[in-house]
Amino acid sequence: MTKIVIPFKDIPTLFVKVVGKNGKQRELRAVIDPAAQYVIIPKVDALHLGYEPGFRETLVGLSEEFGMMLAYTIAGPIEVLDIMINEIRVADLVVKDVLALPHDIPMETGVDVILGHTFLSKLKAVVIDYEKKQLILEDYTQQQTESKEKSEDRV
C-alpha cells in the first residue's frame, strides 16, 4: 500500500508525471476535482505523449471514426475524444490505465491537469485536510488488487 502526504498552501495542487502510450513522460501541475468525471490533460501534452487523435485539429471530418463524444463544461458543450493514459504517477503512487480527455485548461488557473473520477476511483482514499493543509492519497494494497482480479476471473 502506498500512502503519500502532500502539503499545500491555499489550493491542494500537486505535481503528476503522466506516461503516454509512446513511453514519453510529462511532469505537470494538477488539481484534484472530485466533481469532474474525467482526467483532463492539455491537447499539446496528449500529442507529445503519443495520442495523435487527441489533438483536435488533426481530426477534421474523422469524428465518427475516432469516437468523438460530447462533454459539458461551464463554458458549454465541447466535442472531445477520450484517451487511455498508460499511467499517472504521484511520487511513489502509480495509477495505470486512466481514461482522460484532451482539452486545454485556461492558463489563469495555474494548473495543467484536472484529476477527476477516472483517476480518483482507482484510489482507496483521497483526503483534502484544509486544517492541516495536507493532501493525502492512498492506493489499494497489492494483495487486495490481486484478490479482486482473481475473483473477477472466477465470474
Count of structural domains within the chain: 1
Give the closest residue to 134 by CA, choosing from 142, 126, 123.
126
φ and ψ of 103, to 5 deg: -160, 135
Q: Is residue 8 in a domain?
A: no
In a domain, 39, yes or no: yes
Residue 92 belongs to a domain: yes
Q: Give the CATH number of the domain where residue 92 resides.
A: 2.40.70.10
Among residues 128, 125, 123, 120, which one has the least CA distance to residue 34?
A: 120
1 lies in some domain: no
Half-sphere exposure of 68 (CA within 13 A, CB side): 19
> What is the tens place of the pLDDT at every residue in 104-129?
888 888 899 999 999 999 999 999 99
Domain of residue 68, residue span: 13-126
pLDDT digits (tens, 9 = 90+) for 25-70: 999 999 999 988 999 999 889 989 988 754 544 445 444 445 566 6
At 32-42, the pLDDT tens digits run 999 889 999 99
> pTM (2 decimals)?
0.78
Q: Is there a domain that residue 135 lies in?
A: no
